[in-house]
Structure 1
Amino acid sequence: MKNRSFISIFAILFAVTFTASSCDDMLTPELKRYSENYAQDSVYSAFGILKSLQNVGSRSVLLDAARSDLSTTGIYTSDSIKSIADFENPEDGDNKLLNAADYYHIINSCNFYMARVDTLLEKNGVPEMKREYAQIQAIRAWTYLQLVRFYGSVPFITEPVATTEQATYLEKNAPRVNKTNLADMLLEAGLYRAYELQKQYGMPNYGEINNGYSRYTTLRMFVPIQLVLGDAYLMQNQYQKAAETYYDYLTDTKIGSPNDRNEVFKVGYETNYRDGQIAGYTLRSNDWAECMKFNTDEQLFVTIGAANSTMGKMLTDVAQTFGFKTSSTVSGSSGSVSVEPNESYQQILPSKNYLSLNEQQHYCKWESQNGVETIIYFDDLADGRLYGTAPEYEFTRGEKSRIIDKYAIGSMLYSSTSWGASSNFFSMQYHITLYRKALLYLRFAEAINRMGFPQIAFGVLKDGLWRQTFPTLDYKTIDGNKYYINKKDTLGIFLPKKDEAGNVIVDSLGVAVLDTCLFADGYAADTTLIQRNVPYLSSEPKAYAGGMYYVTLDEMVRAEKYKFLSEFWTKDLWNNQELESGNFRAGIHSRGCGNTGGHQDTVYTYAKMVAKKVAANRARLNGLPYQSQVELENRLHIGDMLLTESAVLPDSVAAQYADVTRITDDEIINAVEDLIIDECALETAFEGHRFTDLLRFADHKTDAGMNGNDWFAWKMARRNNSATDDASMYDAGIYAKMQDDTYKFFQLPKKK
């Protein structure tokens, strides 16, 4: 293996690689609708490419999970996993999880397909080939996205490779694609044309396949182009283009309708209690763990495994690596996979960092009875998603350990007698989720936050984006020398205006005139302007819970310029009147922390959480102990008011905060980004995104003038630390390695 050259990547690509599925394979399409040879050839080629995705889908999950700050290794961890987890920089091909050839096999299959397909052909007037061509472009783009995530910089090949000579030439001369040019090169190679075709004709749908256990729609086995392109734009720090692309997908599909979208933001766990004491937890049909199942609209892009080897490739390696022994049974043409926790299989476990992050969350239970509102926080419960991601299990030796069960979901996550009790039955998930709705909304929040809209981005986490969760933005035409006043500013903080003598200015009704963020004192300076359109917030959010009361007039006015933001409060697509009449739905954070929306959760608020993250970052930069970090956090806000550079403090408290360094706009955006990073961990842990998510966020920070590389190294070096440990505590060895790109990316094989 040590003598392998880069050309070995193409070892399986020298011949034409239109990989037709075996007639006995689950990925053999039903061709009743495709009697012509061209259609049969095309569909077999497409399904052969889907079959190749099986080889890289589960591997992408394991490669990321092994390196994540959310995971650690154990006594049964194999050398292959251990070398990756410890960043020993194993060479491609020397580790069973590292084989770039599998990715290039998909790419070459796509290249051959696109070189041969005739997109002008139709079947009964239906342009099937155009749909399929667009999707093959999307799959090739997705595959390059994975290569750049894991290898950093790779050859960009868009022509079919059929000979050794051709492969040798491309090894030396093919252009390289990396995070800085990925979107541009994909678009130039045909992805934009594919996007136009997808917009016009939709996605391919070849009905269902039977994996031996159940039937699965093929529609979810294809990747929407907007998701790939949006992720590529994020890699290039092109935030507006990313947000536009994600929003285009939201409005292009059912995901945008209120009824469907409710599934994304359902409160994850309902807590039953008596006399204020926990009596137990109940797994609901709308429970967060259901999100990982195939038959929910949460799934956007998956790869399917067979129920037994006679039906095709079985995708059991992820469940096995996380600690499950699997066995397959066959009965005629049917089969099933059973799973059983076994500590000797457990190679990747939740890290102390991940468990501590969950424990830092507060579960909020809000209710109203007979007009009396009650808020209860179950501080010992932690984030409810922990029990759906890594429940405790008592192994045969009598020892309890948390086991990652996202790919073998436990059917009883809770009991009536103990906290987060062990699941006693697990069921195999036959698919690997490659993209789901919550991830899409988190990426959208990531993009708009870096565009300069941190309050709305936080709203994705806390409240969800509906018309009813936004305040109402209106305009009033006023005389140029007068000042229109709303009764209350967006945070409910009264800032009375004063004249030069220090007297409070009142209106004709004797009500104190209040300041807004867009105007200065009292009267307009330019009296030559007879009239002007003045924006104001005419009402608070109509959502029953209170909605995004923290969104300011300034942010609303700036957001109005962008369709992908303003349409949330102007387009009927986002109108959900249920929110006005009862306690319905909130943001993604509610999936694990209950009633987080609006005024109901007084812990998870914009001001408090931003202050928390600003303090944490200053503690990291200045080496503050954790206790000092907490003290600083409490002094960076007063109620719902952040101590920003523009904040005006009441005279009664101004002196108490004179020594506090005010929060800058850049710090706010960075803080909200850190909250999104936490939410990514809580929601999508062990799904194949975390390590490369952190790399991308580090690039955002560097692009904004911070030392993103140092932040990334520190973040990774804290994988075995608690959130309450001093910022100066971290693994120095990992910290040093993570400063070097050699250890961040896997290395393609080189000629020896």
Structure 2
Amino acid sequence: MKRNSYKFLYKVLLAGALMSSFSCQKLMDVKPEDQVDIANHYQTIYDANAAVIGIYGQLQGIADRYIVLNELRADLMSPTANADQYLRQLNTFSVTPDNPWADPKPFYKIILNCNDALKNFDIMLASSKLTQADYNERYADVNAMRCFLYLQLGMHWGSVPYVTDPLETVDALKDANKFPKISFNDLLDKLIASMVSRSLQDYSSTNITGSTSTSLNTTVDGYPTNLFFVNKRCLLADLYLWKGNYNAAATLYRYVSDTGYRNIAGAGDAGYWQYKANWGVFLITYNRAGDESSFLDDNTNKSGWRAIFGNPVQGTDTGSEWIWTIPFDRNFAPVNPFIDLFSNQGGRYLLTSSKLALNTWATQTQANGFVGDARAKISVRTINGQPVIAKPLYYYLNESTLIPTNVLQRQGRWLLYRGSALNLRFAEAACRDNQVKVAYALTNVGVKGVYNGVFPGTGTVPSDVTNIMQTMAPAPYDMDAREGQVPYYRSPWYRQIGTRTRANMPNLPATLFQNNDVTGMENAIVDEDAAELAFEGYRWGDLLRISLRRNDMSFLADKVYNKLVSEGNASASTARAKIMSTNGAYLPFNL
């Protein structure tokens, strides 16, 4: 890590947003300097922890960039009248070289710090300043971060330089002879190889969180740090999904899906809840049947879907959905960037939901006959007469009034990966691995609902469930959802109901799996991604991945075109043509 980067690192440590096992008071005694002698660092395990934490702290600095690039360039988000020319350029695929959002350097700055830390971890291991186990864990956390950042670079810029050597500055990458750009496809190969060789080495098979280190897993200012780190298996699974190795992806998604059952089965139903899109928590639900006004809409009631995004307590319930999340504390830097992006109260209100997204939600019908997908009520709120993307704002707005308690207190939470994303990507991998019925179950009504001898609502379930309510499919698709009372037993998938049923949405057509309709099921998964995961940073990757897989960029281009047309944007046809041109979906790469 460059010597002057320690000033930022210590600021992150002092902020308390991400902490090592140092006590708060000891950290408060550290005085950051512009130049720090590198010889004084990487001497102990605590120095290694500081490097890991500093790098993850730097990720907070590009949270706005991550959301903007992954959502605004897709079909669910649009600029408001307050947005400047650069955000509008992203929206219409007319990016100029000076557009700050299209600058890859912020990603590379963190990558170079990753490279420097990994080099020094090697030195510490060789000099016995780190044990092999401590080295493996810290190397894995930093290497996974580097792979995550490179995946983002590939998704948005296509061909990029891939460098794992420590460099003094990003400017060194301008030498194309030393650091040539490689294709996105080749980049995926390198990232997978890196993850397989190092990031899962000596990684605890029973660990729930991203990091196994007891000194990195702690609680600071009320924030448990155990979910601050990239979940390595989810990341590797995503890389396999991009590459088209669907069985390998599904194997890892399945492993993470079974985390709760594997780790805490027998401790009540909590072991069956985790990462399963289950019927116990986070439902679109109503307190009174047939009464639409009784919609459950608050931050803390675990039964309601809104609590995914607003529950202030890290515990068993939120832990059943949250996989990777980083808080923005109201008292410490860096400042939560989502307030400025989305809020029209104390923020700049630069971005909002596209009309296409709102119209799509509005034309759906819930399982109980109510009009509209109710997830829209949580995802987008009408505040002061304007549609406001609310998912990132529930820690900032008053739970009842939706008015900030204090516009200067900008607390929030960046939810980078959650159970529903895991569930839907598992479904996507299964679908492409010719397990369409499994994909249908994961997306729609759960294993029990699909493999019960009859299609839901069309007949009587047999009393003998010995050979039903389980997939009878080869691993990793061999899910068992049986339950019984006499004798009492519970199978690992008995609570899983799929994201659509959890959201009170009706069954998708059974013909999708009856006809083994891979493309139709995949389209349904992408539509469900939009409804469930809107504005969370997944959308660009989902659309691009499908387009590349099908060798058909019109899949992406048409969705962007339809967004722009629905808003009367005269650039709709030009944007579509740009995406359809060779490498036109990618941003111009300028260092």
> Which of the five TM-score ranges fits, normalised by the shorter chain?
0.7 to 0.9
> Which consecutive residues of structure 1, in runs of 5 or more, have no partner in the other structure?
1-12, 327-341, 366-376, 415-421, 473-487, 495-537, 611-640, 645-664, 703-707, 724-728
8 Å contact 2:561–2:572 — kept in the other structure? yes
Shift of 1:135: 0.9
- Alignment of 1:61 with 2:75, yes or no, is no
2:370 corresponds to: 378
The farther-off stretch of 434-443 and 178-187 is 178-187
Whole-Å separation in 2 of the counterparts to 1:277 and 1:259: 28
Name the counterpart of 2:243.
236
Equivalent residue of 1:719, what SS? helix
* 319 and 541 in structure 1: CA distance in 2 versus 1, 3 angstrom threshold: farther
User: Which of residues 185, 190, 199 is equivalent to 1:185?
Assistant: 190
Matches within 5 A, 1:527-546: none
Q: Work out which of the residue numbers 351, 356, 364 in structure 1 matches 2:367.
A: 364
Q: Residues of 1 paired with 2:496 and 2:249: CA distance?
A: 26
1-side partners of 2:232 and 2:80: how far apart? 39
Q: 1:129 to 1:172 in 2, by over 3 A?
A: same
- Write out aligned runs for 1:423-434 (5 A): 423=402, 429-434=411-416
Give the counterpart letter for 1:24 in structure 2. L
The amino acid that maps onto 2:134 is: E
Q: Is the 8 A contact 1:409 1:429 kept in 2?
A: no
How far is 1:37 from its partner? 3.9
Match of 1:447 in 2: 429
SS at match of 2:306: helix
Q: Report the alpha carbon displacement of residue 185 of structure 1 after superposing the two structures with TM.
A: 0.6
Matched with 2:116 is 112
Aligned to 1:532: none
Q: What is the CA-CA distance between 1:184 and the residue it aligns to?
A: 2.2
Residue in structure 2 matched with residue 718 of structure 1 by the alignment: 562
Residue 585 of structure 1 and its aligned partner are, at CA, apart by: 6.1
* Structure 2 partner of 1:70: 76
CA gap 1:348/1:230 in 2 versus in 1, 3 angstroms: same
Query: Which residue matches 1:586?
Result: 497
Q: Distance in 1 between matches of 2:491 and 2:483?
A: 13
AA paired with 1:431? R
Q: Which residue of 2 aligns with 1:221?
A: 228
Q: Secondary structure at the match of 2:498?
A: coil
Q: SS state of the match for residue 435, structure 1? A: strand
SS at match of 2:9: coil
1:166-565 equivalences in 2 (<5 Å): 167=173, 169=175, 171-174=176-179, 176-189=181-194, 191-199=196-204, 203=211, 204-205=213-214, 206-208=216-218, 210=220, 214-252=221-259, 257-261=271-275, 264-265=278-279, 266=281, 268-273=283-288, 276-283=290-297, 285-286=301-302, 287-293=304-310, 295=314, 296-297=318-319, 298-308=321-331, 311-315=332-336, 317-326=337-346, 345-365=348-368, 377-379=369-371, 382-393=372-383, 395=384, 400-409=385-394, 423=402, 429-465=411-447, 468-469=448-449, 471=451, 560-561=473-474, 563-565=475-477
The 1:262–1:250 alpha-carbon spacing in structure 2 relative to 1, beyond 3 Å, is closer
Equivalent residues in 2 for 1:34-113 (5 A)?
A: 37-91=43-97, 94-113=98-117
1:746 and 2:574 aligned: no
Read off the aligned partner of 2:526 and give its amino acid letter.
I
| CA 578–175 in structure 1, closer or farther in 2 if over 3 Å, else same | closer
SS at match of 1:24: helix
For residues 73 and 255 of structure 1, do their structure 2 counterparts lie closer, same or farther at Cα, with a shift above 3 Å needed? farther
- Listed one character per residue, the Cα deviations across residues 223-278 of structure 1 (whole Å, up to 9, x for unaligned) are 0211111111121122112112222333356688303346655462222447x453
For residues 326-352 of structure 1, give each alpha carbon's deviation from its aligned partner in whole angstroms, at most 9, with x where no partner exists.
4xxxxxxxxxxxxxxx6xx22212112
Distance in 1 (alpha carbons) for counterparts of 2:225 and 2:282: 29
Which of structures 1 and 2 has the bigger CA Rg? 1
| Paired amino acid for 1:471 | Y
Provide closer, same or farther for how the CA distance between residues 722 and 161 of structure 1 changes in structure 2, counting only shifts above 3 A: closer
1:566 alignment counterpart: 478
Secondary structure of 2:550 counterpart = helix
Classify the secondary structure of the residue corresponding to 1:364. coil
Look up the match of 1:672. 521
Q: Which of the pair is proportionally richer in helix?
A: 2
Change (3 A) 1:198 1:16: farther
Q: 1:469 touches 1:541 (CA, 8 Å); kept in 2?
A: no
- Please give the secondary structure, in 2, of the residue aligned with 1:69: coil
Taking structure 2 as the reference length, the TM-score comes to 0.80
In structure 2, the residue matched to 1:370 is: none
Q: Give the fraction of aligned pairs with identical amino acids, expressed as a percent.
A: 20
8 Å contact kept, 2:136–2:201:
no
Q: CA RMSD in A?
A: 4.0
Q: Which amino acid aligns with 2:203?
A: Q
Return the letter of the residue paired with 2:53.
F
| Closer, same or farther: CA 182–255 of 1 in aligned 2, 3 Å | farther
Kept in 2: contact 1:20–1:48 (CA 8 A): yes
- Residues 137 and 191 of structure 1 are in contact (CA less than 8 Å); yes or no, is this contact kept in structure 2? no
Counterpart CA distance in 1 for 2:428 and 2:450 is 19
Residue pairs, 1:4-15, within 5 angstroms: none
CA 1:280–1:113 in structure 2 vs 1: closer, same or farther (change >3 Å)?
Answer: same
TM-score normalised by the chain length of structure 1:
0.64
Larger strand share, 1 or 2: 1
Which residue among 31, 34, 48 is the counterpart of 2:22? 31
CA distance in 2: counterparts of 1:109 and 1:87, whole angstroms: 31
What is the DSSP-based 3-state SS (H/G/I as helix, E as strand, rest coil) of the residue aligned with 1:460?
Answer: helix
Counterparts of 1:493 and 1:591 in 2: how far apart (Å)?
20
Residue 685, structure 1, aligned to residue 529, structure 2: no
SS in 2 for 1:565: coil
One-letter amino acid of the counterpart of residue 688, structure 1: G
Match of 2:575 in 1: 734
- 1:688-722 CA distances to partner (integer Å, 9 max, x unpaired)? 121221011112223xxxxx212221122111567
- Summarize the Cα distance change of 1:41–1:289 in structure 2 as closer, same or farther, 3 Å threshold: same
Q: CA deviation at 1:123?
A: 9.5
- CA, structure 1 residues 692+740, in 2 after alignment: closer, same or farther (shift >3 Å)? farther
